């Protein structure tokens, strides 16, 4: 057994108003994703997304089923999206090897029985994943940065100049409900997802990486008129309930992975909030 998983419950926004720093962090922050030869994950009851990290070092490790699923194998009733944030490696899906390089994604559809994560030949493998319930099979597909739908948003003047790589979105790969991508902040830009938004139809998880060890990101959550913040370090993730904004400002630039599950597959379905409307 090399998989460790904890459950996080859903939260009512009226309740979250009363959370202090520790309680906010306990409910929403995922501090430790990468442990040698382990899969570490969180099962959130927000759309039942599983958020996790895979770090094979001395041996190949499999995607094991977990008690939360009551399924004979992990992907029996689920789909998964994996993004490599470390050195190039091989992921085997029912015996078929996929080479996944740094910042490339692999979508694996419902029904794949054996998924094997190999350690990198050179360098270290860090794989970040999101998995959502799925009741239909779609083919496994590797998506590189060249296959992504790319948009550049913001400006250096507004400290939010960034490139959004939509990797696992329905124009690139068919999925049941999962959408994932990666946003890179340009040097000198620190704000992500500003103007902020909510999408009550879908929850979201953010994973911050490529952040220097001595720098931090202040992640904002909550309803627009009642925001809270969580200070985060490199390689940490945070859960955003459907009713919450999700935005951050770093003490330097960084990259992050966003992943969503819920009601529709329309990336553009967002209710934008003007910066002046935030409280
Ligand atoms: O619902 C979409 C997600 O929140 C992100 O794609 C937003 C983002 O990467 C950004 O604006 O920087
Ligand atoms: Zn969003």
Domains and CATH numbers, the chain: 3-277 (2.60.120.10)
What residue has token string 């992921």? 91
Question: 102 a known binding residue?
Answer: no
Verify whether ligand 1 is closer than 6 Å to residue 258 (CB atom): yes
- Nearest atom, ligand 1, residue 240 CA: 4
| β-pairing verdict for 3-8 and 38-44 | parallel
Question: 27 a known binding residue?
Answer: no
- Asked if 81 and 109 touch (Cβ cutoff 8 Å), the reply is no
What does the alpha-carbon distance between residue 185 and residue 165 come to, in Å, rounded to a whole number? 11
CA 193 to ligand 1 centroid distance, Å: 5
Ligand lying nearest the CA atom of residue 181:
1
| Pocket probe mutation, ligand 1, options 47, 183, 239, max atoms within 8 Å of Cβ | 183
Q: Where are the beta strands (DSSP E) in 96-192?
A: 96-100, 105-108, 115-117, 127-133, 141-143, 149-153, 162-168, 179-185, 191-192
Per-residue model confidence as pLDDT tens digits over 139-178: 999 999 999 999 999 999 999 999 999 999 999 999 999 9
pTM of full prediction above 0.90: yes
SS3 content of the chain, % helix, strand, coil (to 5): 10, 45, 45
Per-residue model confidence as pLDDT tens digits over 216-259: 999 999 999 999 999 999 999 999 999 999 999 999 999 999 99
Verify whether ligand 1 is closer than 6 Å to residue 184 (CB atom): no
Question: 246 a known binding residue?
Answer: yes
What does the alpha-carbon distance between residue 29 and residue 2 come to, in Å, rounded to a whole number? 22
Interface confidence (ipTM) of the complex: 0.99
CA 259 to ligand 2 centroid distance, Å: 8
Verify whether ligand 1 is closer than 6 Å to residue 246 (CB atom): yes
Work out whether the CA dihedral 173, 220, 52, 43 comes out positive or negative: negative
CA 181, 185, 186 angle in degrees (round to 5)? Answer: 135
Residue nearest to atom 2 of ligand 1 (CA): 267
Residue 154, pLDDT score: 98
pLDDT band at 87 (very low <50, low <70, confident <90, very high): very high
Question: 161 a known binding residue?
Answer: no
Q: Which region holds residue 240: left if phi is over 0, alpha if psi is between -120 and 50, else beta?
A: beta
Distance of CA 84 to the CA centre of its chain: 11
């Amino acid at each position: 057994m090399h998989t460790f998983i904890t459950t996080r419950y859903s939260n009512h926004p009226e309740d979250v108003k009363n959370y202090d720093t520790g309680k906010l962090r306990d409910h929403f922050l995922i501090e430790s994703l990468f442990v040698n030869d382990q899969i570490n994950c969180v099962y959130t009851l927000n759309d039942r997304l599983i958020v996790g990290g895979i770090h094979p070092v001395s041996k190949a490790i499999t995607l094991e089923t977990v008690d939360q699923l009551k399924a004979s194998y992990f992907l029996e009733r689920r789909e998964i999206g994996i993004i490599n944030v470390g050195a190039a490696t091989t992921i085997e899906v029912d015996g078929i090897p996929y080479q996944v390089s740094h910042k490339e994604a692999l979508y694996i559809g419902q029904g794949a029985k054996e998924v094997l994560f190999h350690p990198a030949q050179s360098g270290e493998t860090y794989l970040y994943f999101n998995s959502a319930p799925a009741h239909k099979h779609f083919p496994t597909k590797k998506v590189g940065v060249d296959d992504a739908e790319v948009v550049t948003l913001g400006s250096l003047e507004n400290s939010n100049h960034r490139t959004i790589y939509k990797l696992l979105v329905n124009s690139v790969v068919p999925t049941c409900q999962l959408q994932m991508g990666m946003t890179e902040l340009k040097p000198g830009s620190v704000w992500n997802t500003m103007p902020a938004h909510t999408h009550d139809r879908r929850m979201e998880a953010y994973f911050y990486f490529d952040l220097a060890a001595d720098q931090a990101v202040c992640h904002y959550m909550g309803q627009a008129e009642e925001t809270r913040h969580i200070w985060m370090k490199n390689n940490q993730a945070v859960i955003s309930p459907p009713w919450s904004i999700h935005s951050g400002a770093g003490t330097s630039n960084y990259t992050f992975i966003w992943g969503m599950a819920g009601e529709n597959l329309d990336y553009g379905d967002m209710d934008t909030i003007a910066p002046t409307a935030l409280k």
